Chains A and B, each alone.
Chain A
Amino acid sequence: MAYLTQLDYVKYICSCGQLKPITSLYFCRHCLKIRCGFCICHEVDSHYCANCLENMPSSEARLKKNRCSSCFDCPSCFHTLSTRATLAQPRQPVDPAGGDTKVENKQPKKMYYLSCFNCRWTSRDVGIPDQPVASGGWPERANPFATRINQLLDYYKAIALQEKQEKLERERKKFSIRGKYITLTDKTGLTGAMARNIAGLPSNEAGSSSAIANFVASQASEEVEQLPDDIYTKEVNLKQITSMPQRLASPEWQPASVARLHPVAKLLSVKRSQRCRACDHNLTKPEYNPGSIKFKIELLAYYHVPEVKIISHEPVKPGEKTALLVKLTNPTGHEMQLRLLQPEDIPPVEDREEPRSIEKSLERSLNLEKDASACRAIERPPSYAASSVVATPVGALTLAQRDDAAEYDDDTQHDADHIILWRKSNKLALRLEVTTDASAADGAPASTAFAIEYSYRNTVPPSSTAAHHRDHTLYTTVLLDLGKVHA
C-alpha cells in the first residue's frame, strides 16, 4: 500500500533518464535495461467492458464505437445505471358492453427501465419507454448532422477522385507515344469504358461528376437565432440546465436541457501490452480474460532489480555527517553481488558492451536507422540535484537468492560489521554515512544519490547463434529523498 499512497522516497533512474519509483518501472531481459512507461511502446491488447466484464473482439468494438451494448452510464452524474424491473398491467381493451375480460390479458408483464442509484435519475424522466427485455433494445438516436456530413464526404471524395484522375490523365498524355504498336484495346475494339460496363462497375466519370453536380453548398441566411422573448422575465431553474460535462458526454447532441439527456452507453476499457522500443520484445502482456488481473508476461523491475528502502535517517544538517539506514532486497532467484558506487563512477555504456558476433552487428546495421533515432530522441539526461553525498563502502556485498520458505525462519544473522546492520535471507540492512554540503540552505529539500553495481543472471533461453552470456554486471542509480535540510 505504501507504494500507492505515500510519496516516492526512493526513485530509480530509468535508462531514458526519467525518475520513477521501482513499482512503475519495467526491466527488459533482452536489453538488460530498466524501462519505464515513458520510453516503452504501449499497445491496445483487448477491449472489455469494465462493468459487465464482457470481452469484445476489436472488430466488434470498432463497429459499436467502443461502447458496451448492455451497460449504460447516467447522463447526469456518470454513475453506472442499473436495470430495474416493474410489473406493468397491460392495457385492458375497454369493452363497452361490460362483458367479462379475457383471462390471458390479466397476466402482468415485466417491463424494464434504467435507474441511477446515485442521483435517482431514471430513463422514465426523459420519456424513454420501458423495455420488455432486460438488456439491450434501448432506442438509439441518430446524429442529426449525419446525413449532411455524409453528403459532404461524398462530395469531397468525388472531388479527390476527379483530382487524381486529372493528374493521371496528364501523366498519360505526357508519356504516351502512340503509333507503331496497336494496343490490346484497339485490336479488340474494347475501350476502358466498355470494359467497366462489362465488369459491372459503375462508370467512373459519371459517378463522380453526379456527386459533384448534385451537391448543394450551405446557404447563408439573414436570420440568426434570436434570444427567446421570455429570457428577461423567466425564472432560471438551474436544475433544468445541463452542465458542460453533461453536454460533452454525448458530443453528437450536446443537450442544453436536462429533459433531453439520454443514457450514455458505457465506454469500453482496454488491456494494454507493453513493448520495449529498442528490441521489440513484450515487457508485459495481460491475460485475455477481463476478470483476471494476471499477466502472461510480466517483466517488472520489482522482480529483477535490487530494491532499496529507507529504514530511517537522522535529520540532514549542512556540513555534517548523518547516519542513513537502508534495506536492500534481492528479488531474483539467484545470488547477487552488490557494490555501492557514486553515480558518476558508473562506467560509460560503450565500455560495458560485450563484443558482438558478426551476425549481431550485421543485424544491427540492417536495422532501420529511424528506430534507433526514435529511441534516442526520447532519452534525455536525468535531472536531479543531490544535496548530500553517501560514503560508499568499498567492499562487495552478497545477497542470497529469494526464498519464500525463509520467511518462516526467525533468526536474523548478525554479521558484526560496521556497515551491515543485520541480514535476513535475501534482505540486508546497511548503515551508511551521508555528508551534506555546508552551503545547503535551511528548509531546502535534502536528497542523496548512489549507484548500485549488481550481478544479474540472465534466464532467457540462449539463442542458437549468438554467444550467450549468462552473468552480467549491471548498474542502476537510486535517488533517496531525505526530507528537508535542518540548519
Chain B
Amino acid sequence: MTLYEGIALIQEKQAVVLDLGSEYTKFGFTGEAAPRCIIRSEFWCTTERKYKKVYDYKTPEELYDNLVHMLHLLYFRHVLVNPKERKVVVVESLFTPTLFRETLAKVLFTHYEVSGVVWADSPRLCALTLGAPVALVVAVGGREAEVAAVVHSCVVLHAMQTQPLAARAIHASLAELLDEDNNTKLNLPDHIIEDIKVKTCFVVGRERAARWRSPSWPAAACDVAYPVAGRSAIAVAGRTRELAAEVLFARDAELASLPDIVLQCIMQCPIDARRELAANILVTGGTATLPGLKARLAEELRYLITQPPYESRLHVREFRFHRAPCPENACAWAGGAVCGAADGGAARATPRDAYARARRLPDWVCLLDNTPPHHPHRDNLDI
C-alpha cells in the first residue's frame, strides 16, 4: 500500500509555492529551503510601455490581465516549468480582498489549468516554520504590518491587527526627511528611496529616539552623500538615517503604533494564551531586516507593558523572540514550501473540478462558509 503511494508521490509533479507580495513576489518549489526567485511584483506591459505593478488595477479584467502576465513571467522566465497539471500553494494574507482571490483562482484554474490550489494564510505558515504550538506573528511587509496570533494552528481571527506601518510608510517619511536635508523637492523614484533606506537607514533605540524628540538632540550618526546618476549627490543626514523608520513607533491617541498593535493583539486573545503568545513572538517580513528594528520593538514592548492602558489589563512581563529558519522576507513562503511538501498538498488542495463546479472559493469572512450546518439561517443563505 505505502509502496504504491510512494510511486504516486514520485510521479506527482513537485508543486510550486506562490507568495504575491505587494512589493516583492516569492516563487519556488515545495520542499526547498529557499524560493527560486524573489522579484518585484511587476511586469513589462507592452501596451502601456512601462513596468506595471500587479496591484495597480481598476477593473477585474485589468487585474486578470496583470495576474496572467505576472504568472507567465514567473513560470516561463524564472522557474521554467509547465504550469499545467501542477499544484500551487498560494500564500495569502487573511486580509486579501475577495476580488483578488477570486481572480487569482480564475487565472490559475482556467488560464493556467493547474490541477489544484492550496490556499494557505501567511500567519499560520510563518508559525509552521517554528514548529512551536503557539506563536504571535508580526509581519511587517511592503504595505501593511499585520499582527496575528496563531494558537495551535488556529489564527485568533478577532484579535488580528493591521496598520499601514510598513515599507511604504518608511519610504514616505524618508522622502520627506530627504527633502528637508536637501532643501528641495527631490521627487526621487521609489527604487532609489528604497536603496537609500537599505544602505543607510537603521532603527535607533528607545532612549535615543526620545532624545531626538527633546530639544537637546544627540550627536547624529555620520552623514552620507548618496550619488545619483545625472544629478548632484543627495545629502542623507545622520538624523534622517536614524529617524526614517520612526514612523512605525510614533504613538498618538489612537495607539496605532507597531508595538501598540502587538500588545492589543495579545490583549484580545484568550486569557490563557496571552503569556504563551508574548513568549513566542516571530517578527517577519522584508522590513524586519532593517537593522535594529527587532531590538527596538522588544524594547518598546517591555516599556509599554508597564504603562497604561496595558499595565492593568495585560499581565505578561516576559517577551521572547523566535528566529525563523529562513530569511525574514521569505518566511511565509518557506512555511508554504514545508506545508506543501508535507501533506503533498493533496489533502488540502482545492482541485480544479471542485472549483469548476462551485465557481467560488471558501472564505473565512463569507457566511456561506462559517455558518454551522444546522444553523437556522443556513437555509436562507444564497448567492
A268 touches B131 (CB 8 A): no
Once the chains are docked, how many angstroms separate the CA of A21 from the CA of B51?
20
Cβ–Cβ < 8 Å partners of A143 in chain B: 33-34
- Distance in Å from the Cβ of A5 to the closest Cβ of chain B? 12
B327 contacts A by Cβ under 8 Å: yes
- Distance in Å from the Cβ of B289 to the closest Cβ of chain A? 8
A44 with B76: in contact, given A153-B342, A232-B221, A244-B195 (CB under 8 Å)? Answer: yes
Residues of A227-262 contacting chain B, CB below 8 A? 227-228, 231-236, 238, 241, 243-244, 248, 251-252, 254
A227 touches B280 (CB 8 A): no
A248 touches B38 (CB 8 A): yes
Binds A, one of B106-114, B140-148, B304-312, B360-368: B106-114
Which of A156, A217, A225, A380 sits near B294, CB closer than 8 Å?
A225
Cβ–Cβ < 8 Å partners of B280 in chain A: 220
Which of B33, B84, B338, B356 sits near A370, CB closer than 8 Å?
B356
- Distance in Å from the Cβ of A458 to the closest Cβ of chain B? 28
A41 contacts B by Cβ under 8 Å: yes
Binds A, one of B88-96, B175-183, B318-326: B318-326
A218 contacts B by Cβ under 8 Å: yes
B35 contacts A by Cβ under 8 Å: yes
| Interface flags, A266-300, vs B, CB<8A=1, else 0 | 01111010000000000000000000000000000
A43 with B33: in contact, given A241-B198, A374-B113 (CB under 8 Å)? Answer: no
B131 touches A224 (CB 8 A): no
B279 contacts A by Cβ under 8 Å: yes
A153 touches B2 (CB 8 A): no
- Distance in Å from the Cβ of B83 to the closest Cβ of chain A? 8
Binds B, one of A73-81, A132-140, A144-152, A170-178: A144-152
B80 touches A156 (CB 8 A): no
Once the chains are docked, how many angstroms separate the CA of A374 from the CA of B132?
42
A227 with B199: in contact, given A66-B79, A374-B110 (CB under 8 Å)? Answer: no
A44 touches B81 (CB 8 A): yes
From A38, A143, A221, A370, name the one whose CB has the most chain B CB atoms within 10 angstroms.
A370
B226 touches A238 (CB 8 A): yes
Cβ–Cβ < 8 Å partners of B220 in chain A: 232
A421 contacts B by Cβ under 8 Å: no
Residues of B184-235 contacting chain A, CB below 8 A? 194-195, 198-200, 202-205, 219-222, 224, 226-227
A370 touches B199 (CB 8 A): no
A226 contacts B by Cβ under 8 Å: yes
A227 touches B34 (CB 8 A): no
Cβ-closest chain B residue relative to A192: B1
Chain B interfacial residues counted at CB < 8 A: 86
A267 touches B322 (CB 8 A): no
A152 touches B84 (CB 8 A): no
A42 touches B295 (CB 8 A): no
Once the chains are docked, how many angstroms separate the CA of A268 from the CA of B36?
12
Once the chains are docked, how many angstroms separate the CA of A43 from the CA of B319?
51
Once the chains are docked, how many angstroms separate the CA of A41 from the CA of B111?
8
Cβ–Cβ < 8 Å partners of A43 in chain B: 82, 84
- List 18 additional contacts besides A217-B133, A252-B34; criterion CB under 8 Å: A66-B80, A143-B34, A145-B325, A156-B339, A156-B341, A160-B342, A201-B3, A204-B2, A218-B323, A218-B324, A222-B321, A227-B204, A231-B202, A238-B224, A370-B353, A370-B356, A377-B106, A377-B110
Q: Enumerate 26 A-B pairs (CB-CB under 8 Å) in ascending A order.
A: A42-B76, A43-B84, A44-B76, A66-B36, A146-B33, A149-B326, A217-B130, A218-B132, A219-B322, A221-B320, A222-B321, A225-B294, A227-B202, A231-B221, A231-B292, A232-B219, A232-B220, A236-B200, A241-B199, A248-B24, A252-B327, A267-B78, A270-B76, A374-B110, A374-B113, A377-B110
